[in-house]
């Protein structure tokens, strides 16, 4: 089988390339190993006749990377408009932030159609297509319109919200009907999958049997595939990174002080404001922790052209400066706040250096930083993960200290207890979390999805498969091909 993977953002696999989000980092090692073709945006746009897609293709491990210039006339409406000002807020249950015009929707559909035409170039007789994320909800339908009858799967990296929230997105009905062109739709959690099926049943009035939607487009299976990481590779990166100059400088600067770390895109879904307020509260109620613990918060600028993100940038900068002003001393800065991206290797070293990882989104599909923080720890002296119960990762990493990211006082107390946690408890919790990471790696996620896609497609319209919400682990044969 020739697998074509599609996502808006891709990674070129350069060692020091700053990482721009979970999806690109997660897909890179599997594309490199499996020999898939990964098609995405080049980050550039092109004027003129968008009927002729231009792609730059380069090798990526055993696979290839094709980067496409997207049509200039539609890029803004697609990326900043419909994808990130209508879908992103809705998917993260922030209906109050939905802003999109009908032109934005038209551009979104144009870019989906453009991508479908571009994919024809990579199609072979035995191809299967695997579309990633909310940028391309309608790509399957566009491919079917072009006559593609091969397997097409879709995986959503974000959450899927309640019916009332997704209904706030203009053209939600047409979009979700278009999604039914996929053979298989994967979600991060049971809750996301149930929310989607509830919309399909109640708003589209379609029959759903054992997770399979029956529509005029055929049958679409919805199922849960929690995304993982490669814990072994990440642990190796972390060990190696301890001699990296940035990691060495960080360690030297601490002088015995403990470190908490947060690493996020600067996004309102990440709960950065509440996190900073929780540290403020912690130093207020436990002044003994001043000078003995500081926070390193890396907040990579993101989607700056969108109003909500511009506001967030100034709001967080002001909060950090207020907290540093209130608790800082001539020789001590409580929060080190960096607005830049780092390569994954260096981040792994930062995670290993920090005694506490704080991952407190208000809502998150999975949050791979949580998993990476755990994998990077020194087994003999692991740090503690403080994790929002609203991140998909909380379903698996229930041995973390789970917090409600809206409860600032509760977070303050939990972070203080993480700092004080005895070694024996840290090890027990860390071992439990590592066991989960090892049983749900990115390689397994990839293989499970592709196997389920092939099964679902071959079942086709003739019969309903056995009821399964979670697909079984891959067969030995299949594993051999995809490892
Ligand atoms: O959460 C899903 C995701 O695709 C992440 O991988 C990434 O953080 C984000 O959405 C997309 O971000 P960007 O707009 O920077 O590509």
Which ligand 1 atom lies nearest to the CA of residue 267?
8
Burial bucket for residue 249 (CB in 10 Å: 0-12, 13-18, 19+): exposed
Structure confidence at residue 465 (pLDDT) = 42
Residues 6+ apart with CB under 8 A from 256: none
Cβ of 374: how many Cβ atoms within 10 Å?
A: 30
Measured CA to CA, the distance from residue 393 to residue 402 in angstroms comes to 10
pLDDT band at residue 100, thresholds of 50, 70 and 90?
A: confident
In this structure, are strands 218-224 and 212-215 parallel, antiparallel, or unpaired? Answer: antiparallel
25 token code pair:
């980092």
Burial bucket for residue 317 (CB in 10 Å: 0-12, 13-18, 19+): middle
Structure confidence at residue 72 (pLDDT) = 96
185 pLDDT above the threshold of 70: yes
Question: Which residue minimizes the CA distance to atom 9 of ligand 1?
Answer: 21
Distance 172 CA to ligand 1 centre (A): 21
Q: What value does the mean pLDDT of the chain take?
A: 93
Structure confidence at residue 51 (pLDDT) = 60
Structure confidence at residue 470 (pLDDT) = 37
Structure confidence at residue 20 (pLDDT) = 64
Structure confidence at residue 475 (pLDDT) = 37
Structure confidence at residue 22 (pLDDT) = 83
pLDDT band at residue 13, thresholds of 50, 70 and 90?
A: confident
471 pLDDT above the threshold of 50: no
Structure confidence at residue 18 (pLDDT) = 78
Coil, helix or strand for 35?
A: coil
User: Do 311 and 434 fall within a single domain?
Assistant: yes
* Residues 15-29: tens digit of each pLDDT: 677 776 789 888 998
Average the pLDDT over 246-260 and give the result: 96
Cβ of 431: how many Cβ atoms within 10 Å?
A: 12
472 pLDDT above the threshold of 50: no
Sign of CA dihedral 456, 149, 26, 475: positive
Q: What is the CATH number of the domain that holds 198?
A: 3.40.50.2000
Distance 219 CA to ligand 1 centre (A): 29
Average the pLDDT over 398-420 and give the result: 98
Cβ of 202: how many Cβ atoms within 10 Å?
A: 10
User: Do 220 and 238 fall within a single domain?
Assistant: no
User: Do 274 and 236 fall within a single domain?
Assistant: yes
Cβ atoms of 92 and 158 within 8 Å: the answer is yes
pLDDT band at residue 49, thresholds of 50, 70 and 90?
A: low
User: Do 41 and 122 fall within a single domain?
Assistant: yes
User: Do 319 and 180 fall within a single domain?
Assistant: no
* Residues 149-176: tens digit of each pLDDT: 999 999 999 999 999 999 999 999 999 9
353 token code pair:
């250096």
Eight-class DSSP state of 168: T
Top-confidence residue, 287 or 465: 287
Top-confidence residue, 178 or 474: 178
118 token code pair:
């571009």
DSSP structure string for 381-431: S--EEEEETTBGGGGT-TTSEEE-TT-HHHHHHHHHHHHH--HHHHHHHHH
The number of angstroms, rounded, from the C-alpha of 282 to the middle of its chain's C-alpha atoms is 29
67 pLDDT above the threshold of 80: yes
| Ligand 1 pocket check for 303: Cβ under 6 Å | yes
Question: Which residue minimizes the CA distance to atom 8 of ligand 1?
Answer: 21
CA-to-CA separations, 54 to 2, 107, 297, 442, in angstroms, rounded: 21, 18, 39, 31
In this structure, are strands 384-388 and 401-403 parallel, antiparallel, or unpaired? Answer: parallel
Structure confidence at residue 169 (pLDDT) = 98
| Ligand 1 pocket check for 270: Cβ under 6 Å | no
Percent of the chain scoring above 90 in pLDDT? 88
User: Do 430 and 477 fall within a single domain?
Assistant: no
**Mutational test site, ligand 1, from 19, 20, 347, max ligand atoms within 8 Å of CB:** 20
User: Do 376 and 462 fall within a single domain?
Assistant: no
426 pLDDT above the threshold of 60: yes
| Ligand 1 pocket check for 365: Cβ under 6 Å | yes
User: Do 35 and 124 fall within a single domain?
Assistant: yes
The domain tally of the chain equals 2
Distance 209 CA to ligand 1 centre (A): 32
Stretch (H or E) spanning 56: strand 55-60
User: Do 241 and 181 fall within a single domain?
Assistant: no
466 pLDDT above the threshold of 60: no
Average the pLDDT over 81-92 and give the result: 98
Which ligand 1 atom lies nearest to the CA of residue 132?
4
| Ligand 1 pocket check for 159: Cβ under 6 Å | no
| Ligand 1 pocket check for 23: Cβ under 6 Å | yes
Question: Which residue minimizes the CA distance to atom 11 of ligand 1?
Answer: 21
* Residues 303-326: tens digit of each pLDDT: 999 999 999 999 999 999 999 999
For the chain, what's the residue count? 483
Cβ of 63: how many Cβ atoms within 10 Å?
A: 19
Question: Which residue minimizes the CA distance to atom 10 of ligand 1?
Answer: 21
Residues 6+ apart with CB under 8 A from 154: 130, 131, 132, 136, 137, 139, 140, 179, 182, 184, 185, 186
Average the pLDDT over 126-149 and give the result: 98
Which ligand 1 atom lies nearest to the CA of residue 364?
1
Average the pLDDT over 178-192 and give the result: 98
Distance 29 CA to ligand 1 centre (A): 17
Beta strands in 247-355 (DSSP E): 258-265, 293-300, 335-338
User: Do 322 and 281 fall within a single domain?
Assistant: yes
| Ligand 1 pocket check for 157: Cβ under 6 Å | yes
pLDDT band at residue 53, thresholds of 50, 70 and 90?
A: confident
| Ligand 1 pocket check for 158: Cβ under 6 Å | yes
Beta strands in 269-363 (DSSP E): 293-300, 335-338, 356-359
Which ligand 1 atom lies nearest to the CA of residue 26?
6
Distance 133 CA to ligand 1 centre (A): 9
| Ligand 1 pocket check for 302: Cβ under 6 Å | yes
Which ligand 1 atom lies nearest to the CA of residue 79?
14
Residues that are catalytic = 157, 364
Coil, helix or strand for 352?
A: helix
Computed over its alpha carbons, how large is the radius of gyration of the chain?
22
User: Do 428 and 446 fall within a single domain?
Assistant: no
Q: Which domain holds residue 293?
A: 231-439
Least trusted range by pLDDT, from 83-97, 327-341, 449-463? 449-463
| Ligand 1 pocket check for 20: Cβ under 6 Å | yes
The number of angstroms, rounded, from the C-alpha of 447 to the middle of its chain's C-alpha atoms is 18
| Ligand 1 pocket check for 341: Cβ under 6 Å | no
* Residues 111-136: tens digit of each pLDDT: 999 999 999 999 999 999 999 999 99
Measured CA to CA, the distance from residue 56 to residue 167 in angstroms comes to 38
* Residues 323-360: tens digit of each pLDDT: 999 999 999 999 999 999 999 999 999 999 999 999 99
Measured CA to CA, the distance from residue 216 to residue 309 in angstroms comes to 40
Buried b (16+ CB within 10 A) or exposed e, 8-19: bebbebeeebeb
**Mutational test site, ligand 1, from 10, 19, 23, 75, max ligand atoms within 8 Å of CB:** 23
User: Do 281 and 320 fall within a single domain?
Assistant: yes
């Amino acid at each position: 089988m020739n697998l074509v993977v599609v996502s808006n953002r891709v990674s070129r696999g350069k060692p020091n390339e700053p990482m721009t989000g979970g999806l690109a980092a997660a897909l890179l090692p599997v594309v490199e190993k499996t020999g898939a073709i990964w098609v995405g945006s080049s980050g550039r746009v092109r004027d003129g006749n968008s009927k002729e897609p231009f792609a730059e293709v380069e090798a990526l491990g055993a696979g290839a990377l094709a980067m496409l210039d997207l049509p200039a006339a539609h890029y803004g409406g697609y990326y900043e408009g419909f994808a990130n000002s209508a879908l992103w807020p809705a998917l993260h249950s922030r209906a109050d932030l939905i802003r999109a015009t009908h032109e934005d929707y038209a551009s979104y559909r144009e870019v989906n159609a453009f991508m479908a035409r571009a994919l024809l170039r990579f199609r072979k007789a035995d191809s299967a297509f695997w579309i990633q994320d909310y940028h391309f909800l309608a790509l399957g339908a566009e491919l079917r319109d072009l006559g593609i009858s091969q397997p097409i799967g879709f995986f959503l990296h974000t959450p899927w919200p309640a019916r009332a929230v997704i209904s706030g997105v203009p053209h939600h009905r047409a979009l979700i009907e278009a999604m039914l062109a996929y053979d298989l739709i994967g979600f991060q959690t049971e809750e996301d999958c149930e929310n989607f099926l509830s919309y399909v049943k109640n708003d589209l009035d379609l029959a759903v049997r054992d997770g399979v939607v029956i529509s005029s487009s055929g049958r679409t299976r919805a199922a849960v595939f929690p995304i993982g990481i490669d814990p072994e590779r990440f642990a190796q990166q972390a060990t190696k990174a301890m001699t990296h100059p940035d990691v060495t400088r960080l360690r030297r600067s601490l002088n015995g002080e403990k470190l908490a770390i947060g690493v996020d895109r600067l996004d309102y879904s990440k709960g950065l404001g509440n996190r900073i307020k929780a540290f403020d509260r912690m130093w207020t109620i436990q002044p003994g922790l001043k000078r003995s613990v500081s926070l390193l918060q890396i907040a990579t600028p993101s989607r700056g052209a969108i109003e909500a993100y511009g506001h967030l940038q100034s709001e967080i900068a002001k909060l950090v400066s207020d907290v540093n002003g209130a608790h800082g001393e001539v020789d001590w800065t409580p929060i080190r706040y960096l607005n830049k991206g780092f390569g994954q290797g260096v981040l792994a070293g930062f995670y290993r250096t920090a005694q506490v990882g704080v991952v407190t989104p208000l809502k998150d599909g999975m949050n791979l930083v949580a998993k990476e923080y755990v994998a990077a720890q020194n087994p003999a002296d692991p740090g503690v993960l403080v994790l929002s119960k609203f991140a998909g990762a909380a379903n698996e990493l229930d041995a973390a200290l789970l917090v409600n990211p809206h409860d600032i006082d509760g977070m303050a107390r939990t972070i203080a207890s993480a700092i004080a946690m005895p070694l024996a408890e840290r090890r027990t919790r860390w071992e439990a979390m590592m066991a989960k990471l090892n049983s749900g790696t990115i390689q397994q996620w990839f293989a499970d999805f592709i196997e389920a896609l092939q099964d679902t497609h071959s079942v086709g319209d003739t019969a309903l498969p056995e009821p399964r919400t979670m697909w079984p682990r891959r067969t030995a044969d299949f594993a051999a091909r995809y490892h």
